[in-house]
Amino acid sequence: MIDIKFLRENPDAVKENIKKKFQDHKLELVDKVIELDQKSRAVKQQADELRANRNKISKQIGALMAQGKREEGMALKEEVTKQAEQLEALQNQESELSAQVTDIMMQIPQMIDPEVPIGKDDTQNVEIERFGEPVVPDFEVPYHTDIMEKLNGIDLDSARKVAGNGFYYLMGDIARLHSAVISYARDFMIDRGFTYCVPPFMIRSNVVTGVMSFAEMDSMMYKIEGEDLYLIGTSEHSMIGKFIDTINKEEELPYTLTSYSPCFRKEKGAHGIEERGVYRIHQFEKQEMIVVCKPEDSKMWFDKLWQNTVDLFRSMDIPVRTLECCSGDLADLKVRSLDVEAWSPRQKKYFEVGSCSNLGDAQARRLKIRVAGEGNKKYFAHTLNNTVVAPPRMLIAFLENNLNADGTINIPEALRPYMGGKEIIG
């Protein structure tokens, strides 16, 4: 959420940012929120003046009563009563106007980083760099669920009967591989200095609206009926929520955390929950990383975070590339975002396996995550998040890139300790 003071002083810049995100329907919100903010501040000033006047009169009443001037004191007392009614009306008006301002401000997108390429949607994202040589084997690479089924590693039919499309049973060595990747990713991040955390898998609505836009919330989150709780779509939600309404010592920053969780997503509006595939599903597990830092350090951490994912995938012999997300592909709270995509030998193209985001102070402003700096001066922290690894989507890349002609799967050296020393699944 943008600072209202910044918007007041730079309305044209905010409008230009909205245009860069191809959200012209939101342009009118800038003028509307400025008008409401002016009214809100005017009402607040009236209330403050009335409050100060009441306090002054109250002291006069005490003095008059002490002098025995009861009649004059009672007259002023009646005036205070009338002003109390006026003050209550002003306070209610101020509260209503303030709520309207907040509602609109939460719809206006965050100011994007100057490095973000301008484009309408993900088709205009820009490739930055490739890591590893993409290989297409001289044998046909089957669809990922065919590979798994041949190894007795997945049961989609039973899952469909139990829960519907978008769910799965992982079995045997494939299930073990899934867990091995998660455990390896956990230790990989711990070795890079991140603190391991297992967070709550449900969060309250005030945390949901603090970490994402309304559009994301509607398309992703499952609500627990009858309770103010939502299933998390990623552990980033509860990990950032951990710092809600806190004042953090500047010398203790950055907080670098890596978290495990199951993730639950409605995937509303997604075209085709694949009946046979596990690329886009309602339930999966993920290892995540988040950083809470000083504003001047967020760009540096952004580069560190996506590099962690690249290094992890390369350690498992999977070629990857990075894509800078264009302006139109950025969620409203994001300042900048970079996708990591893995090579698919079957499709002969890359596909997304992780996303790194710098949210500036957007989440911190909504959740009141503040930092006490020099002279105890308070300011909002910056927050970042990135996918370490998200099986089973990552398993697609792993199986295709480590598949042998006979249908067996090579286990890279880094994963073997987590697979009981196995070098091959077959």
Catalytic residue positions, numbered:
265, 280, 352, 355, 393
**Would residue 25 be called left, alpha or beta, if left means φ above 0 and alpha means ψ between -120 and 50 degrees?**
alpha
Does residue 392 have a cis bond before it (omega within 30 degrees)? yes
Produce one character per residue of 33-66: b if its CB has 16 or more CB atoms within 10 Å, e if not. bbebbeebbebbeebeebeeebeeeeeebeebee
Using DSSP's 3-state secondary structure scheme, residue 67 falls into coil
Per the structure block, which two tokens stand in for 241?
Answer: 């929520």
Instruction: Judge whether 83 and 54 are in contact, CB under 8 Å.
Output: yes
Consecutive H or E run containing 223: strand 222-223
CA nearest to 360, candidates 297, 419, 421, 411 = 297
Count CB atoms within 10 A of the CB of residue 25: 8
Rg (CA), the chain: 27
CA nearest to 15, candidates 7, 6, 27 = 27
Instruction: Judge whether 128 and 338 are in contact, CB under 8 Å.
Output: yes
| Whole-Å CA distances, 237 to 199, 221, 286 | 9, 11, 13
Instruction: Judge whether 260 and 188 are in contact, CB under 8 Å.
Output: no
Measured in whole angstroms, the distance separating CA 352 from the mean position of its chain's CA atoms is 17
